[in-house]
Structure 1
Amino acid sequence: MTTFWLAILLLIVIALLIVWRIFTAANNAIGAENGNIRQETNVTLYHEHLSQLEHDLAEGSIEQDSFLQLKAELDKTLLQDANSSENNITEQQQKSWLWPVGIAFAIVSLSFYSYMILGAYPQLNSPAALNESDAHSELSPEQMLAYRLQQLQQEIANDPTNSQALFSLGQAYISVGEFDNAIEAFDGVITQVGEHAELLGPKAQAMYYKNNQVINDDIQLVIDKALALDSLDASTNILLGMDSFSNRDFAKAVKYWETVLNSDRPGISKQALIGAVEEAKNQLRMSSDGGALTETAQGVDPTLPRLNVNVSLASNVQKALMNSEDKTVFIYAIAADGPRMPLAAVKIKASDLPLSIVLDDKQAMTPQMRLSSVDKVHIYAVVSMQGNVGIKPGDFKVEVLDIDVMEKSPINMQISAQVP
């Protein structure tokens, strides 16, 4: 800010120097020229009159006394004319100062007026008027989340009856893992507006996460209340689907998630849910008693590698990605002993997680480099912060090493470590 004001001051000084230079140089030149012309004219006339007097004296037209008297008057006149010329020049120079002073005052006044009224000074003088995204663009995701929490807490402190802000505060608390505070916030909203499914569902989620993702009697009571009020409530059905999937009850997971998809409610990430439904159906086929027979009937060779990978984000990664744009996630397998070219790879979005995927020969880069061409693989799941293939500083990753390509059990991978 100091540099800015110094630059403005320098520009004003330069403008004033230009103005004063023009006026002072021009006026001095004109005054000097006019003074010289007048002086030369007076001297010329003086000598002409003096010559005439001397001529008259020589011819005897005038007496010596008269000559001396007339010459004294002529000298006096010359002196008066010289003083008058100097006074005129001084007066003109004094008057000439009015223009540069007036212009200088106008430049300074107009500059400050333009900036104060038309420029950015009002915004600089009123930080609250700044665009919030610009004001906090340098903050990290964690700092942004902390700032958002403080903002919501301040809103509630200023207006405890602001139920919308209180609900948003509860969701923010879930994001940072403060489940007790989230439950308290949702209870506060329920106290103000009454029990509604869209409030009970998020409360049940907070209770579920607090209880290490296990539904107990208290959580089930909240779920039952929510479904009694609205059997299609998105939060509640998504929660039930997640719990069913984690307990390998894939049929129920499909049922709950398809209920949400078919309800066509706003604010739902359909792409992520569709992927989750497809993976639950995959798992259902694989886990059934006739799994191998079902695969054969569908044209899937049970003798070929088919790795089932469950990928999720750790809480620290969720916080880091919360206020940024949706990042790309690469999940791929490479030979344990061999080139680093992926043998199978899947590209998804971070918002799709948690998700279960299948790595098999269909995702091979070349016919020669595929899962069935090796015995063991390393599997990586990488959240790319730049959206490019490869593991780079700042990315988040997880890896599992030396996995048998014929492994049938699900491989759980939680992305948690940041690449230094």
Structure 2
Amino acid sequence: MSLLWLAASVLSGIALLILVPVLLRRHPVCVLDRDTVNVGLARDTKAELEADLAAARISEAEYDLALADLKRALLLDVDAVQETSASTQPTPGTAVVLAVTLPAVAFGLYLALGTPAAVDTDPVADTASASAKQGQDMDTLLEQLAARLAEQPDDARGWALLGNALMSTGRYLEAVPAYRRLTELRPTDAEALVRYADALAMAAGGDLSGEPSRLIEQALALDPQQVQGLWLAGIAAEKRGQPAVALAYWRRLAPLVANEPESYQEVRRFITRATAATESTAAGTTASPSAQPGNAIRLQVVVSIDPALLTDVKPADTLFVFAREPDGPPMPVAAVRVAALPLPREVVLDERTASLTDGSLGQYARLEIGARVSRSGDAAKHAGDLIGYGAVFDPAIAAKVSVLIDRKIP
């Protein structure tokens, strides 16, 4: 006997153990004493009559007449029964019938309405069969869609649906003509152009050179914020050995995927990699990736000052420009010290100025730039110093930031 039948039998037995003892048990029944009820009703009626008499709503003669009627009615009801405790008789016949018919009916209904054959099926085989059937169903749907599009070749939405479905199933070569037709129907649709480029590249083993790159550039000319286009354009530029071009694309892409943590982190990795490669190229080095700083950052900081405070700055004053974690310790992660004048001016924060923490600016996801004019030249803040902070930013994305000195430390 299979596990299912055994479980069903056990459950049926439990149900009978609950129901049969109830049918075999004596059940006391409480019968009310009619005398008690009648006397209680008569007492209430008499109380109402007395209240009416006291309130002068009825006369004394009316009261006597009503009281006599009440007594006469009470005396007529002489067939009351005493309160007794009876018991219902047990019903063994019903218990026997239930014990026989309940399991029989339950198993009969399952055999008629259920799926008994499913009890002995192999779940692994069922899964494989379901997967194969699902694949067959998808193939059938794609064939039906292709047949419909052959009759309605101007259905742009249908071509997009067919191309997307083929790409999702890894049939890149078959997706190419679907996207080609889509771009013929929608030549100014940036998304359609990028998907066509992606299909061409995937069909060629991931090669974005040639026609795919041309289509991506065309798409970005139509929509400079096309996310997939920026992503692929950066990859194509990196493969061409143009890390600076790739860096520019990915820096444009990063804010567009800021709400997608996984994509955002991937873009940050692209940016730090391209930044390191750009610096290596500019220095004329051929160091291996393991010898390069994995997240080299160079920040160009534009420092300006509120005109109302400019007269407080003296030629001998010192300007400190620093980067720090907005929610971290007060100690800066990078800093540079220059003459306070002239203002505005530009300074650079890079890996050399990050030696305060023996780290790299690229290891921080969020930084804040501050600038302080010090009269004493001391790195510590003092009353009378002028200070200001810039907006919080991601150092892997922002290459140029600004800070305004706008208040005096009291």
TM-score normalised by the chain length of structure 2: 0.39
Bigger proportion of residues as helix: 1
